[in-house]
Structure 1
Amino acid sequence: MSTATLSCIISIVIQRPWQEVYRFASQPENLSAWATGLGRGIRRVEDDWVADGPEGPIRICFCKANDHGVLDHWVYPDDDNEIYIPMRVIANGNAAELMFTLFRQPGTSDEQFAEDEAWVLRDLANLKSLLEAHAA
């Protein structure tokens, strides 16, 4: 049995009410402001959202708007692959805790997984900076 990490939860505290964080982060149009991995050139194409990925278009499906802070989304880098990304924003006192579950994809080395984790943390830090600066 492999001892490789299969997933990790990346969490960041944002000094804004959780509802504000949810409202902003749940709008696909706002991805380009903070999510460097998926936010480039995001646009609506029929019933889907499509972003410009490094190797071509990436289709993204988002969960429906809700009152529970659920920001789950599914990324389709091609027709054969689906990447599920559970994401939540919850109250943490007067602030918000944003949690992103990163699943290791098949064939991902330890180094690649660590790079993916660092990338997600940078993107969440971008969101934190954006929302906290916006409130100042």
Structure 2
Amino acid sequence: MDAVRHLSITIATPLARAYAFAHQPANFARWAAGLATTLHPTDRGWVADTPEGEALVVFSEPNAYGVLDHRVQLAGKPEVYVPLRLVAHGDHTEAVLTLFRQPDMDEAMFERDAGLVARDLAALKRVLESEA
């Protein structure tokens, strides 16, 4: 079985406010640099410019449960499913991302990816707490 890691961070922002910001694909580039530095809508859907080329990103529909799952498809590669949840914790929010080690990743690549996710979650925290 491939490795899996759950990365999380506590954000001093209520869930409703955190979700209102984070569920909008246009805001992902403000905090999810591990996904892409640019993300824009096209006739095919949301497209991220990555070092490996364009990636189609499909986001979960807006919902009342804090689900921010998304799927990333690079040409010629298997689709990557990224479960991401925002969970109320009193008047704060827990952001939890499940990172699955992909079949073509060695341990060093998986660790690097985990570091990028941790950096992105910290950026989400910084953005949300600075705009509180």
Q: Normalising by structure 1, what TM-score? A: 0.92
- RMSD (Å), alpha carbons: 1.3
Aligned counterparts, 1:9-88, within 5 A: 9-88=6-85
How many residues are treated as equivalent by the alignment?
132
Amino acid in structure 1 at the alignment position of 2:10:
V
Q: 1:99 aligns with which of 96, 100, 108?
A: 96
SS in 1 for 2:119: helix
Contact 1:33-1:39 within 8 A present in 2 as well: no
Distance change (3 Å), C-alpha of 1:80 and 1:108: closer
Contact 1:37-1:53 within 8 A present in 2 as well: no
Give the fraction of aligned pairs with identical amino acids, expressed as a percent: 41
In 2, Cα distance between equivalents of 1:33 and 1:41: 9
Q: Which runs of 5+ in 1 are unaligned?
A: none
Report the Cα offset of residue 7 of structure 1: 0.5
Report the Cα offset of residue 23 of structure 1: 1.2
Report the Cα offset of residue 47 of structure 1: 4.2
Distance change (3 Å), C-alpha of 1:27 and 1:92: same
Q: Normalising by structure 2, what TM-score? A: 0.94
Q: Which runs of 5+ in 2 are unaligned?
A: none
